[in-house]
Structure 1
Amino acid sequence: MTKPIQPAMTAAYFAQCVISFGVALGSTTLGIFYLPVGAWVRAFLAVSVLYTVTSAFVLAKCVRDRQEFDSMSSRVDQARLDKLLSEHDPYKVDAI
């Protein structure tokens, strides 16, 4: 009933994630820079994008922390159950 071990993240997958993030942020930055509007509108959009990026990082960290907590709790519960089962002898007769 234990969870299977999850394989480690490969270097190629990590590189793909970093490159994808860079392309998305870079294209948004270029789009804001070449937008035919005033400096105040560009500044507002730039701050909005930075706020969205930092919020996404914080949300990802919160989700990861919650998953680690749940995983740790289930491992502790599984260890307790395994200990109880290993100590239980169904053929042992208790004296009355």
Structure 2
Amino acid sequence: MTKPVQPSQTGAFYAQAVASFGISVTAMAIGLIYLPAEAWVRGFLALGLLYVVTSTVVLCKVVRDRQELAGMTNRVDQARLDKLLSEHDPFKVEV
């Protein structure tokens, strides 16, 4: 039985993703701090930014969990099929 190829991430890709996230959140926070508006407007936009960030993290986790579950289900189905095929003998004569 062959193992399915698991895609992997490079360290550079991980670093780029983390840096991109950090830079974007920092830039938005600085933009909100220096926004020429009243404090309640900046606060509202900051809460919106926080909501977008947290919902993005949750969405990433849900997508990852669903992908892992699908992979596990496929492995269980493959194991069942392998067992069924190994037990099947096409030359066996039923009496």
For the residue of structure 1 that corresponds to 2:93, the secondary structure is coil
Alpha-carbon distance, 1:3 to partner: 7.5
Q: TM-score, normalised by structure 2?
A: 0.91
Distance 1:24 1:87, change over 3 A: same
Which structure exhibits the higher relative contact order, with contacts defined as CA atoms closer than 8 Å and separated by 6 or more residues? 1
The count of corresponding residues between Structure 1 and Structure 2 is 94
Task: Give me the TM-score of the superposition, normalised by structure 1.
Answer: 0.90
> Secondary structure of the residue that 1:94 maps to in structure 2?
coil
Q: Give the aligned partner of residue 57 of structure 1.
A: 57
Deviation string, structure 1 residues 48-76 (Cα, Å, up to 9, x no partner)? 10111001101111111111111111110
Q: Percent of counterpart pairs with the same letter? A: 61
Distance 1:87-1:59 versus aligned 2 partners, 3 A rule: same
Unpaired runs of 5+ residues, structure 2, are: none
**Structure 1 residue ranges (4+ consecutive) displaced by more than 4 angstroms after TM superposition:** none
Q: Corresponding residue for 1:26?
A: 26
Segment of structure 1 superposing worse, 13-22 or 85-94: 85-94
Displacement of 1:11: 1.0
| Structure 1 unaligned residues grouped into runs of 5+ | none
How far is the alpha carbon of 1:7 from its aligned partner? 3.0
Are residue 80 (structure 1) and residue 76 (structure 2) matched? no
